[in-house]
Structure 1
Amino acid sequence: MDTANLDTPLSKELFGDDFAWGVSTAALQIEGSCDADGKGPSIWDTFSAKKGKILNGHSPSTACDFYTRYKDDVDLVKALNITNFRFSIAWSRILPTGTGEVNQAGIDYYNDLINYCLQQGVEPWVTIYHWDLPHALEEKGGWTNREIVNWFSNFVEICAQNFGDRVKYWMVMNEPAVFTGAGYFLGIHAPGRMGLRNFLPAIHHVVLSIVAGARILRELVADAQIGNTFSCSYIEPYADKPRHFKAAKRADALINRLYIEPLLGLGYPTDEVTALKGIYKYVQPGDEANMSFDFDFIGIQNYTREIVKYSFFTPYIGASLVKAEDRGVELTDMKWEVYPPSIYHMIKKFNAYPQIKKLIITENGAAFPDVVFDGQVDDQKRINYLQTHLQQVLKAKQDGYNVQGYFVWTLTDNFEWAEGYHPRFGLVYVNFETQQRIVKASGHWLANLLR
């Protein structure tokens, strides 16, 4: 099939009638009201309270105040002609201590949000776990404690029973490689644990939990579309030398293959990263039968590419990233390279797994230093980023790769984890002091594309 001309003007029609257009968010990043109406603390509430953990000492306690302003923000989704809205359920809003008695106020809140979305003609796409583990469960070991498979299963069951009559699209977990890698190996995200002794059990318990959760959804939600989302980056070697190629292959196994392959029944990529073989210490008899699931879709989330070189001094993988800022390339505010072909390569890579039925781009977007001038935000760099990435998605689709949706990260500027409120990813500008919303030029551009 002919490839798309990357200079061809984009139109909604080129992607087909069944292509899902959406915007993605996460509870911790937008809701605020961190202790309202019976909500318990999450690991991010406690982590952000520790000195030096979050840029500028920022906290998610208020965020975008979505908890009280959700109707206004869903109205914005509708006004931007976006028909699908992805959001997550805060575990500790439903179960303040992670287990035990259900907080009815939390159930009522998400019921109200779901009902309002449907009333406005916006399809809700629910992520059950987007990194905000109840702090009470972290005190019991969090993802390193095998009992969490049961804790998580109970949470999923409650969500399915309360919301499954209206929610069709479900993602079990968001980016497991990121929240276990940054939170249980590097210690730069909540809960701040470090080392293989935390990372390896967390990996295995997350895999078991994703499958357990997906099976519960399959059993309890009629006609559910069940998926999971995965972070991915196109990996290229620093130079045309065997040691750099091998280093890139190891990095690819850790960044792109660590979770998707066991969940597709292919096992952990221990041949490339031998340090992962320690994970078998946590694998119990019968686990293999509970490590894979037949997903209806896979969500991939791509922002950039990475250049990898051999590094003798990097433990476990012998590879290191060559910083984009040292390569003289165009950067976002996250210091990530702007490299649109990355998303094409990742669609192609995931299409190579025959077990995957369809792909949805569940996150893609960019942070730039937005400025309000005369009541407007003219974010041309973001428009260019979205346009060039969508052209690559269209190219992949026209080349015969199975990609059936695109969700922008994100609706409003928000709390961006360890980076606090500094990076602005939104289609809508938020003044965090007044909570005023201003639709950016990129929001208007997308609304015109989707009109």
Structure 2
Amino acid sequence: MMHRRSLLKASLATLGAALGAGPLAGGRTAAPALAQAGGQALAFPPGFVWGVSTSAYQVEGAVTADGRGPSVWDTFSHTPGRIVTGENGDVACDHYHRYLEDVGLMAGMGLNAYRFSIAWPRVMPTGTGAVNAKGLDFYDRLTDALLARGIEPWACLYHWDLPQALQDRGGWTNRDSAGWFTDYALAVAGRLGDRVKRWAMLNEPSVVAIFGHGTGDHAPGLRGTANYFAAIHNQNRAQGQALAALRQTGRTDWSLGTVLTVQPIKAAGGLEANRPAAVLWDAVWNRSCTDPLFLGRYPEPLEADFAPLTKAGDMETIRQPVDFLGLNYYSRLYQRLTTDGLFGTGFDGPPEGTRRTGMGWPVEPDGLLEQLLELRDRYGNPPVYVTENGADYYDWVGPEGKVEDGERIAFLRAHLAAAHQAIAQGANLKGFFAWTLLDNFEWAEGYARHFGLVAVDRETLARRPKASYYWYADTVRRNAVAV
């Protein structure tokens, strides 16, 4: 999932539903649930997909097991000062060894889909060349375990953990990266594709480019706009080249797509003076990925910057048809003009009075509605799955020994209500994946942030379902959300 370290604090705007608040330990307040509005339930269409999402580096651990090579996040997290808490993903949630337990937790919710990522350095320890069979064996076992419990595997080929050996060759700033990724994609699909039918190429390439190559807050820790432009363009090329290569295998039972973070960008304070900042950041954050994919061009504010990188045939490679678009949505973004931002813009807060998640992000379910309708209107209404939506909140153990996280329930309920409204207005939304199954390694924030439906004891790694786990299970069972 995405991390915005410099995003200013903001909060919860529900879709006409009232929040109740109660005291938490440490003087915090919680919103246990939205008002029930007479017990009304919003039913989703038959066949709506319900799932959860995770990523390899955040949950797997076992970073040296069975021939896995180091990734850029192994290097980054072991560099002093890079992770707020000084922690790393060496153990994470130990999903590598505890996957059967975790699949059981998913089955307990009645989920019909699980979106996970494949660790490139586990499959190809040096990024290219020979495939590490033992690494792929893990995903074989995971796939079979999911199918045995009636859960469809959705594999994401890249969720930020580039092999360090490829970073040593320039990583995403090297044009050869498109070929490296395509070879890797074909190797994985060739092994798992008899059972895995849903394939996402990348996860949030704009975040990789902005924070990993522009500001240096994420792995591999590069800075500067030149690195940003190269990383975006080469990820776009890699995505398109891999999509084309997988289609050329002739497999007609595969559904091929990608996962992008796309969020409405607003001028801070509603000020006209900040509107240019919003337009520019919309191009940087959103349209540098969506416009090439769906329209075959870069957004006008950035065309001149991408021109020197774009060679003959690149845009044709990038503009590939997708069977689905994965949408990661957490909030709107607010931008102001500044002299010290990567592009002369900076994050600002939402309207005064908006509530906040524990991470300090604006919780704005109506922004999800806005974004789904924009995908409908601007990009031809492609099939969309919300592949990440969730929040960091303070969890506590109640008097009955249950892990209480009413704020997370309120967050998810409000966003599902927005999703339902979008469907009613013609958005081609097909499914919803909560972020995330387990409290995990939250990138530069370490383990201090909790997004999971299931708590993980950092000493014992024992799993403990939260109230949101049971609420989500009920929602899945009913194929409807009570508001």
> How far is 1:215 from its partner?
1.3
Q: Deviations over 1:295-314 (max 9, x none)?
A: 01111111112222333x14
> How far is 1:248 from its partner?
1.6
Q: Deviations over 1:21-42 (max 9, x none)?
A: 1100001100000010100000
- Match for residue 262 of structure 1? 292
More divergent stretch after superposition (245-254 vs 147-156): 245-254
Among residues 413, 425, 430, which one is paired with 2:451 in the alignment?
A: 425
- Match for residue 460 of structure 2? 434
Native 8 Å contact 2:389 2:435 kept in 1 = yes
Letter in 2 for 1:337: P
Q: Which has the higher contact order (CA 8 A, sep 6+)?
A: 2
- Match for residue 22 of structure 2? none
Among residues 252, 262, 266, which one is paired with 1:232 in the alignment?
A: 262
- Match for residue 164 of structure 1? 193
Q: Helix, strand or coil: the match of 1:360? A: strand
Structure-2-length-normalised TM-score: 0.88
Q: Deviations over 1:128-170 (max 9, x none)?
A: 0000000000000000111111111110010110011111111
Please give the alpha-carbon distance, in whole angstroms, between the structure 1 residues aligned to 2:457 and 2:69. 27
Q: Helix, strand or coil: the match of 1:389? A: helix
Q: Deviations over 1:34-87 (max 9, x none)?
A: 010100000000110100101111100000000000000001000011110000
Please give the alpha-carbon distance, in whole angstroms, between the structure 1 residues aligned to 2:104 and 2:69. 28
Q: Deviations over 1:87-118 (max 9, x none)?
A: 01000000010011111101111111001100
- Match for residue 246 of structure 1? 276
Q: Deviations over 1:320-363 (max 9, x none)?
A: 22135x94431112110121111111111111134442111111
Q: How does 1:67-216 map to 2 (within 5 A)?
A: 67-216=96-245
Gaps of 5+ in 1: none
Among residues 327, 341, 360, which one is paired with 1:335 in the alignment?
A: 360
- Match for residue 397 of structure 1? 423
CA RMSD of aligned residues (A): 1.8
Task: After the TM superposition, list the runs of 4 or more consecutive aligned residues in structure 1 that deviate by more than 6 angstroms.
Answer: none
Are positions 1:292 and 2:322 aligned together? no
Native 8 Å contact 2:224 2:342 kept in 1 = no
Letter in 2 for 1:400: G
1:10/1:122 CA distance change after superposition, 3 Å: farther
Letter in 1 for 2:290: I
Please give the alpha-carbon distance, in whole angstroms, between the structure 1 residues aligned to 2:347 and 2:289. 20
Please give the alpha-carbon distance, in whole angstroms, between the structure 2 residues aligned to 1:343 and 1:152. 31
Native 8 Å contact 1:11 1:449 kept in 2 = no
Q: Helix, strand or coil: the match of 1:229? A: strand
Letter in 2 for 1:388: A
Native 8 Å contact 2:59 2:441 kept in 1 = yes
Letter in 2 for 1:417: W
Native 8 Å contact 1:295 1:356 kept in 2 = no
Please give the alpha-carbon distance, in whole angstroms, between the structure 2 residues aligned to 1:144 and 1:327. 40
1:187/1:206 CA distance change after superposition, 3 Å: same
Please give the alpha-carbon distance, in whole angstroms, between the structure 2 residues aligned to 1:315 and 1:187. 12
Are positions 1:281 and 2:311 aligned together? no
Identity of aligned residues (%): 38
